[in-house]
Structure 1
Amino acid sequence: MSDLDAIDRKILGHLQADGRITMQELAGKVGLSVSPCHRRVKLLEERGVITRYIASVDQKALGLHVSVFISIKLARQKEEDLKRFEKAISAWPEVLECYLMTGNRDYLLRVVAADLSSYEAFLKTKLTRLDGIASIESSFALSQVKYSIALPV
């Protein structure tokens, strides 16, 4: 949002780095007293700038060692086909991200799995059973070079 001032941006930066920071610590870091800082945070939440607070969990610590990027081409790009696909994949916990794309493919998915066998099971029991998919192309990540959920503020 373009109407964020420098203090709002500082607040967002600190909250993205540590969502568990106390209001007192946050206020000190952005140069406000606690009450005005709290009001600003509440306003950012009410305006939908802050959408939620989460714990970032290490994928490999949960035994999810495989990351796969999947390009999907649908047989048709009619609105009902897009909605049906989106509804189906939204229910699958293995799918962490899904983007409607321009270009050769209709969707790009990021999927996690414990191992290749688990990914194969996901592919066979879920993805390939969806009607309307023309092609599926999987690319396996060898290593993660950078990962961030913090937006530049």
Structure 2
Amino acid sequence: MSVGKYLAIEFLSDIIGVEEYSIPHVLGYQTSGHQLYHENQTLIVAVMRAGEPMARGVWESFPKSSFLHVKSPEDVKPHHVQGKVTIILVDSVINSGKTVAEFLGRIQILHSTVRIVVVAGVVQAECISRRALTQKLRYGAKVTVVALRVSQNKYTGRGSTDTGNRLFNTTSLP
């Protein structure tokens, strides 16, 4: 969760922007507070399993946002994206970009004008350099990628070395 909070506060606030709103002061008068721009029209999408802890940290930073758990692009339904201004798609590791590109394509089909921000712990460098994340998108799509780090390593874990298994300590389920 800490990584999600860090990326949300340090980067997403600048990328998406913040807006002022009125909040009650302890002395009984109204004062100014700040929140994510259109926070209540923002959807945080956690790609399960590994994206959930980071997405939870993003949501804790922007609690007026909606939160959705998904395993596949088809899990994102029209009613989830209707009326949204921003969608924050969260996964822990992006290797080839194939999975995230499928989610981006699905979201764009459902809501062609929504702004999409992809948040990840690690993004493989080649994925960004060859624009794998945006190659499925139509002209004019607004996609930004925020990552804790970019990796030159092309290793993709399977089985007990999978990121989700390591994050949730579930290397040997019955």
Same fold (TM over 0.5): no
Which of the five TM-score ranges fits, normalised by the shorter chain?
Answer: under 0.3
**TM-score after normalising by structure 2:** 0.25
Structure with the largest fraction of strand: 2
Structure with the largest fraction of helix: 1
Name the larger-Rg structure: 1
Answer 1 or 2: higher relative contact order, Cα 8 Å, separation at least 6. 1
**TM-score after normalising by structure 1:** 0.27
